[in-house]
Amino acid sequence: MQNEDFRRKVHACWLGKAIGGTLGTPHEGKMAMLDLDFYDPVPCGILPNDDLDLQLVWLHHLRTRKATQVTPELLGAAWRTHVKFPFDEYAVCLRNQELGLTGCAVGGFDNWFGECMGAAIRSEIWACVAPGEPGRAAGFAWADAVCDHCGEGVWAEVFFAALQSAAFVEDNPDRLLDTAESFLPEESLVRQVSSETRRWWTLHKDIATVRDHLIARFGTENFTDVKVNVGFTLLGWLAGEGDFGRAICIATNCGYDTDCTAATLGALLGIQDPACIPAAWAEPIGTEIVYSAPIVDIIAPRTLEELTTWTLELRDQLAADRPALRIVPPRRMARSEDAVMHVPLQIAEASPSGAETPSDFENLRWETREVPGHWIALPHTGQTGTFLRWAFEIPASMDLLVMAFSRESTRVWMDGVALSCVPSDPTCLTSPAPSFHRGGKSIFAAPALTGGRHELVIHVDAAHDGERELVFGLGETASRLWLSNPWINPSLSPGGSGRRKELEAVF
């Protein structure tokens, strides 16, 4: 590429990203098929979107520190300083860093959201820093993704970064997808999504049919799950056949994480052919860069043109860095041998009507245990539910939120008083998940707690199929961020009878 050709492609990448994100943002979380053929509503400027926000943070942090290498530790420091989002895996990233974790352990520990879309949407900056070098782009993407993801959540960003990097010098979709898939392990579900989407589109040539196949094979109840959304992005690309507006509308019309799918596809199409973006799509959003309020203390480019210039400068700044793909932790509950925290609790079996007051709780047969994280499996208890009890401490008076997220019904008591669910936002279309901003009936209000020690009790109903999981935690009402480790922990001495007495002493 000539320098001017490269500049046009980078500019079109960011323009396509902004157009797709602005198209999809009003429809995020809608899980039914949509019928858009243009913006709805038509915007008056770019809408702020985390798809771009985090990349502006990386750009600011790497530029101001004159970094010549990209590492998870460096990006983690940027996150702590500049990102205050309470959402899903973003909040887990902050919590895990407060626990002292670094590197790929931050995204890999106790992270229910490890395979969601938050990293897949950050691939463009690495493709532009390593144009035509998909291996380098994949290495940069790994260092980024492990900040808040694990498993398929990491592989998705690796996949898109390699795909978009290769698109600077290659046009053929099959060759591009072959290249991007080659950086993923054979067992990767994102790799399977890519190959199956190609196969289904070739076989059926029908958008609704391929969408149905993707949901049946890869869909989950969480609209941000990365697998099906990667499929929708690729379906829009293949079915759009080079028509920019048609392609991003197909991706959006598939529903789910619509701002992410359309933004990633818009960027890819811009890289492939800057001339493919019609003026009718570009004019409503203008050229001014905006970002979300929880992104703090950054110097951001003012326009798309300035963002392009800064991106080219970052490419030169990182020219000597040759990052490599490294460990990708699987998405799973924390294990005792990997844990950086040990939460003492007591557990008892009883029906929900068998205990309603503090005096009733004391009549239960409590067993003292210890769990290594906030996402835990509960034993099968037949027809009875499970009570769990924790002691915790806060330094000063505050209003708290309690998370008790399970497929089964839950009830919560704080210091013996039953808590009420936080009313759901009637305008919220997103499916419930264990996050303080969208937990649905799993989030309970504990207002006006005084500083000092308190007792939390959660009851989880019996399971119909014998499988139960619980994600529990405490969060600040104002910020909706996790309290990283408020639990009253005994010293972490070796096991045995002495250890058991230490645990029991907590209660």
> In whole angstroms, what is the distance from residue 70 CA to residue 58 CA?
10
Q: What is the CATH number of domain 3-317?
A: 1.10.4080.10
The 10s digit of each residue's pLDDT in 110-135 is 999 999 999 999 999 999 999 999 99
Q: Does the bond joining 43 to the residue before it have cis omega, within 30 degrees of 0?
A: no
Q: Which CATH architecture has domain 343-505?
A: Sandwich (2.60)
Choose between 161 and 466: higher pLDDT.
161
> In whole angstroms, what is the distance from residue 422 CA to residue 400 CA?
11
CA dihedral 56, 61, 64, 67 (to 10 degrees): -120
358 pLDDT band, cuts 50/70/90, is low
What local confidence, expressed as pLDDT, does residue 493 receive?
46
Q: Does the bond joining 447 to the residue before it have cis omega, within 30 degrees of 0?
A: no
The 10s digit of each residue's pLDDT in 23-70 is 999 999 999 999 999 999 999 999 999 999 999 999 999 999 999 999
Q: Flag whether pLDDT at 494 surpasses 50.
A: no
Q: How many CB atoms lie within 10 A of CB 332?
A: 15
Amino acid at position 7, single letter: R
Write the Ramachandran bin of 100: left for phi over 0, alpha for psi from -120 to 50, otherwise beta: left
DSSP state for residue 484 in the 8-state scheme: S
347 close to 459: Cβ distance less than 8 angstroms: no
Mean pLDDT estimate for the chain = 93
> In whole angstroms, what is the distance from residue 17 CA to residue 23 CA?
10
367, β-bridge pairs: 347
For residue 277, give the nearest of 1, 22, 34 by alpha carbon.
22
Residues 211, 148, 10, 285, CA torsion sign: positive
What local confidence, expressed as pLDDT, does residue 353 receive?
61
Cα atoms found within 13 Å of the Cα of residue 493, Cβ hemisphere only: 10
> In whole angstroms, what is the distance from residue 211 CA to residue 430 CA?
19
For residue 296, give the nearest of 83, 47, 116 by alpha carbon.
83
> In whole angstroms, what is the distance from residue 383 CA to residue 475 CA?
31
> In whole angstroms, what is the distance from residue 338 CA to residue 495 CA?
16
Supply the angle between the helices 72-82 and 50-64 in degrees, to the nearest 10.
Answer: 110
Q: What is the mean pLDDT of residues 279-289?
A: 98
389, β-bridge pairs: 346, 457
339 pLDDT band, cuts 50/70/90, is confident
> In whole angstroms, what is the distance from residue 122 CA to residue 164 CA?
11
> In whole angstroms, what is the distance from residue 55 CA to residue 308 CA?
13
19 close to 281: Cβ distance less than 8 angstroms: yes
Q: Which two tokens stand for residue 483?
A: 């309290």
What local confidence, expressed as pLDDT, does residue 489 receive?
77
What local confidence, expressed as pLDDT, does residue 410 receive?
94
The 10s digit of each residue's pLDDT in 359-387 is 778 888 899 999 999 999 998 777 788 99
Amino acid at position 362, single letter: E
Q: In the chain, what are the domain boundaries? A: 3-317, 343-505
Query: What is the helix (H) or strand (E) element at residue 110, kind and residue range?
Result: none
Could you tell me which residues come within 8 angstroms of residue 117 by beta carbon, excluding any fewer than 6 positions away? 153, 156, 224, 225, 226, 229, 257, 260
Q: How far is CA 236 from CA 46, 144, 243, 493, in A?
A: 21, 25, 10, 55
Q: Are domains 3-317 and 343-505 of this chain identical in fold? A: no
293 pLDDT band, cuts 50/70/90, is very high
Q: Which two tokens stand for residue 140?
A: 């940069």
Q: Flag whether pLDDT at 429 surpasses 70.
A: no
> In whole angstroms, what is the distance from residue 421 CA to residue 441 CA?
6
